Structure 1
Amino acid sequence: MTSTATSAAPLTAAELASAKDSIERVSAAFSSRVVGQEKVRTALLVTLLAEGHILLESVPGLAKTLAASTLSQAVAAEFARIQCTPDLLPSDIVGTQVYDPRNHTFETQLGPVHANFVLLDEINRASAKTQSALLEAMQERQTSIAGEIHRLPQPFMVLATQNPIEEEGTYVLPYAQMDRFLLKEVVDYPAESDELTVLDRIDDGTLGQHATAVQPVISTPDVVGLQALVRRVYVDPAIKRYVISLIRATRDIGPLLGPELAAYVDIGASPRGSIAFFQAARAMAVVQGRHYVIPEDVRELRHAVLRHRIHLSFEALADRVAPETVIDAVFRAVPTP
């Protein structure tokens, strides 16, 4: 279906109601295992509906793996977890050909990336060569093994995690790969009440190693259907111009915010930032039960979309300036439609 045909078919009330029901069921299933972390839940849902990938950053033990596996169980998807290490090879991820001495032929064994949900645990521990092997899978939704193309299943979503406090034995993610992630969410420590709830759920068996898996509430074809609905969400030209103005402001901050703040930014967001806002805001609108995007959808996603797309200077790192500080300043300066 062409983009013209897609934009000419607005979402109906029945489609929105069905989508809202499915999203609420997935959210309830997610919350039954993952306590608190509403921002993570929203980010994962938006990423899934927008057909993107997400980078989760936090110290260990904040339920990143649990969140990924719970979401996959809730939508009856195939889940694969890859523990990234410096000796991990590209073939360990995408697959390889193995010789069968009985038939004197080579057989293709697909790697764990050929799953619906792929968790790359501590992605910054994988070598640059292995990280680059992920680019084709993330961008083209396919892998190449011995010259043969293998399409990845639908839906397909990469959930990568990284630990920001340990640098020994790690490889900084290249900017080109960081840009492939639709969102980057920073996972915070839980509130005191949430942490107490975690202990209560372990005590009653809801959480922990003896807990049962989450029962699926929708299927993967349902997810593909929701993704199709997201592509039909209406985005007003004023919202598009707003997004472009925000992205362009990150590239030329001086005239807007002055030389002091401009000195903190080396590289602004690429056009992928505009595309990310466009796609993620549509998904946020569906999550909120609307068939159109409003400026608040863009504003709510500002940190997750831009924090990994703005390259800060040495001066910013020395002055401990967070990318969120620059992002908030840009959003205050650019007029909201």
Structure 2
Amino acid sequence: MATAKFSVLLLLLAFLICMADGQGLKVGFYKKTCPKVETIVKKTMDKVMAVAPSLGGPLLRMHFHDCFVRGCDGSILLNSTQNSQAEKDSFPNLSLRGYQIIDRAKSAVEKACPGVVSCADIVALVARDATVALKGPSWKVETGRRDGRVSISTEALTNLPSPFSNITTLIQGWQQKGLSRKDLVVLSGGHTIGTSHCGAFTNRLYNFTGKGDTDPSLDSNYIVNLKKKCKPNDQTTLVQMDPGSFKTFDKNYYTLVAKRRGLFQSDSALLNDSKTRIYVKHQAEHFKSSFFKDFGVSMVKMGRVGVLTGSAGEIRKVCSRIN
């Protein structure tokens, strides 16, 4: 009985968070104060992605990593200070790249509209434009976020889902942010682009239970291929998360997961829950996929998590430091 009551309370809390999040956001928030902001950001991103498409994955992940720690408030962009280590220097964020691209977009926007557009909103716009540049879906980005003034390294450790997570941990972590099972499996589809360091999954190849064994949930032929690329204790080699199309945003991720070729334990875990498994199998087996539409819907929903609006926070002049 106590467990059931706790579960109900957890779901109610998630619902209330979801209801509270997103207040003050809207599409076209800067229509009067900075009407060309989206055009400016898109032009910046088009130039970047034309020469560095490999930044698409990290820039999409940056929005996700920002929203899961203190909400979508740009705290991922703040530099560490002498007295405090910031989120970007926490272990889960050390593989993020593209901060200079956010700075470039911010500088261009500042020239047109000084002190108007938040860094948090630029992160959200960049994530959308990077996805589109890799032939992925577009969606209408709600804006109106303001920037937070706090960034704490340890909060990234406790709030960001781990690639080693099981399905129970994943579902609970996402529910705490007001996000559903469907949001979890849809946004995991972002793994269709980008790369990962071997260290995020080599335990599955060499020492899964501490006995020198492999992960039985990972396809044995895929294990052979991965071992050719990643030796034990390799922390530097990069591996494509969606082999063959890691620079193209497509639904191939679900085909891989359905074949037990998801790179991370958190990918394979999607087959261990009836609802997430149904979605994976549906996207893998149907030519006419709803994935692109679903991805946009879930990105908008994630972009509302824990936002600062109105007079809360600030509009940073420089994204890496508070005013």
Instruction: Decide: shared fold, TM above 0.5.
Output: no
Larger strand percent:
1
Bigger relative contact order (CA 8 A; separation at least 6): 2
When normalised by structure 2's length, the TM-score is: 0.31
Name which one, 1 or 2, has greater alpha-carbon Rg.
Answer: 1
Larger helix percent:
2
